[in-house]
């Protein structure tokens, strides 16, 4: 879901604005009169350096003068040039852990009422994104919540991605610098829990909401820091979650120290001149961060540097951990997806492999490349489960008609039968199956779980259902 852009509006810094006193000192924010909202932007929630764990803030500055929170802080790598420009981002840094708070102006709320808080985790396949991106803006949602007399405030944050956020290999595991992006998120949640009351938020009513990788992050935070015995160092950092286009997790078959991760790390060492160094990670940390990002992006890409089992933050494969009941059991969830999201996976896989998918053998090769540990008989079973001559859906994405194919081809995508078959397989694997596993486990424990499906009106497959629904509700 795209959230409309607001933070890019060319507003001059104000000489006076809303002030908030937090544990470390006072922040000066910016009032947004067109929305009757206050913005507090670029607030640090933790410190970190390259390929290091985040640490708590240890500085204070009092109340006079206040520190400015009028503009977004530096982003983590990689910056999107267009998004950075329109959101007034002026710097990129390895020390990028800052957040943004958007709240209704206190004058528009009942006096002394603490309001619910949404903490947003952005998507991007754990490969890109940042908290002040226009896709993370909440001003319109907050305005709607006030109009419905259910006011909320929102927190968006930066977390590290790619190799800088999810380094793999034996060295990273031995030094305990794994799943850094998830640890960044957790530090932000701790900061929000401790400080959000000063902004008018209710620390007992925090909801984590994420899209795609951000939705997967919601589950990772439910699984965080369980031991192999099923016990957990309890931290009640949020009370509910919303997962948009996400599932249990994409790291089900990955360990941070397995052969694939180690080989990719060795390639980075070779590319940066650190191969053979006595302390490989220390050598890599001395590489200019822009160069390190570029070199690491050339090795493995989006399917390599993402959350993985590390015997610390994630103690076992996420699906197995859920099935074993080792997750926070008092957090209701709302989870769902858009119709036909498997097309995004199909497009990504064919682009990454630069292979066509016109024949079943080409489809087989793409699946084997995506699931390298799968046995041949497993791939055969998948292909039999999604027969080429079966009705679509469910065995393939919708049978093409001229409008449907024209829409896909207009954005450079394909529309053949094998391509739509790949889309159905990947959509079910990446989104539907994991959500159903989670929902069944929640039902087993009696935890509230709500599912939805967002129907895209532009699809010829879904248009009749949408028109019927609109007629029934007299719209």
Catalytic residues: 212
Q: Locate tokens 């993985």: which residue?
A: 308
- Among 19, 51, 152, 137, which Cα is nearest to 86's? 137
Element holding 289 (H helix, E strand): helix 289-297
Burial status of residue 184 (CB atoms within 10 A of its CB: 0-12, 13-18, 19 or more)? buried
Cα dist from 187 to 71, 157, 158, whole Å: 21, 10, 11
Answer yes or no: are the C-beta atoms of 289 and 75 closer than 8 Å: no
**Cα(20)–Cα(26) distance, integer angstroms:** 6
List, in order, residues 6 or more apart from 418 with CB less than 8 Å away.
357, 358, 359, 360, 362, 363, 388
**Cα(189)–Cα(382) distance, integer angstroms:** 40
Q: Locate tokens 């409309």: which residue?
A: 4
Q: Where are the alpha helices (DSSP H) in 60-179?
A: 81-86, 139-147, 162-165, 170-174
**Cα(162)–Cα(165) distance, integer angstroms:** 5
Instruction: Locate 157 and state its tokens.
Output: 């944050």
| First and final C-alpha spacing in the chain | 22
List, in order, residues 6 or more apart from 258 with CB less than 8 Å away.
none
Radius of gyration of the chain (CA): 23
* 62-68, strands of its sheet edge to edge: 19-21, 25-28, 62-68
**Cα(304)–Cα(262) distance, integer angstroms:** 11
């Amino acid at each position: 879901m795209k959230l409309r852009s607001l933070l890019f509006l060319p507003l001059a810094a104000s000489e006076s604005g809303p002030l908030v006193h937090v544990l470390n000192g006072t922040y000066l924010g910016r009032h947004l009169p067109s929305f009757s909202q206050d913005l507090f932007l670029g607030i640090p929630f933790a410190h970190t350096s390259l390929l290091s764990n985040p640490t708590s803030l240890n500085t204070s500055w009092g109340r006079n003068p206040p520190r400015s929170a009028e503009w977004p802080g530096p982003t983590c790598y990689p910056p999107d040039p267009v998004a950075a420009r329109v959101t007034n981002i002026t710097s990129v840094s390895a020390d990028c852990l800052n957040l943004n708070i958007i709240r209704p102006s206190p004058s528009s709320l009942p006096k002394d009422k603490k309001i619910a808080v949404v903490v947003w985790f952005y998507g991007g396949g754990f490969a890109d994104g940042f908290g002040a991106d226009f896709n993370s803006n909440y001003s319109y949602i907050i305005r709607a919540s006030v109009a419905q007399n259910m006011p909320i405030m929102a927190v968006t944050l930066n977390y590290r991605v790619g190799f800088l956020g999810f380094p793999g290999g034996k060295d990273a595991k031995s030094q305990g610098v794994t799943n850094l992006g998830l640890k960044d998120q957790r530090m932000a949640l701790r900061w929000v829990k401790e400080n959000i009351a000063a902004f008018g938020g209710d620390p007992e009513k925090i909801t984590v909401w994420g899209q795609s990788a951000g939705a997967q992050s919601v589950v990772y935070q439910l699984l965080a820091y369980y031991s192999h015995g099923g016990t957990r160092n309890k931290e009640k950092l949020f009370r509910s979650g919303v997962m948009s286009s996400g599932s249990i997790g994409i790291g089900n078959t990955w360990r941070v120290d397995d052969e694939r991760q180690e080989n990719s790390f060795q390639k980075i060492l070779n590319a940066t001149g650190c191969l053979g160094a006595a302390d490989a990670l220390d050598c890599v940390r001395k590489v200019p961060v822009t160069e390190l990002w570029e070199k690491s992006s050339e090795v493995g890409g989006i399917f390599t540097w993402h959350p993985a089992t590390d015997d610390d933050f994630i103690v076992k494969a996420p699906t197995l951990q859920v099935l074993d009941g080792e997750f926070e059991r008092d957090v209701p969830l709302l989870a769902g997806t858009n119709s036909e999201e498997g097309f995004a996976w199909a497009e990504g896989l064919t682009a990454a492999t630069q292979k066509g998918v016109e024949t079943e053998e080409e489809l087989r090769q793409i699946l084997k490349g995506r699931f390298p540990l799968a046995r041949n008989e497993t791939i055969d079973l998948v292909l039999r489960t999604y027969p080429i001559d079966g009705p679509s859906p469910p065995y393939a994405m919708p049978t093409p008609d001229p409008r449907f194919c024209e829409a896909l081809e207009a954005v450079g995508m394909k529309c053949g039968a094998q391509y739509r078959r790949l889309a159905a397989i990947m959509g079910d694997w990446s989104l539907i199956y994991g959500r159903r596993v989670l929902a069944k486990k929640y039902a087993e424990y009696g935890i509230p779980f709500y599912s939805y499906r967002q129907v895209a009106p532009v699809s010829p497959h879904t248009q009749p259902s949408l028109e019927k629904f609109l007629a029934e509700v007299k719209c």
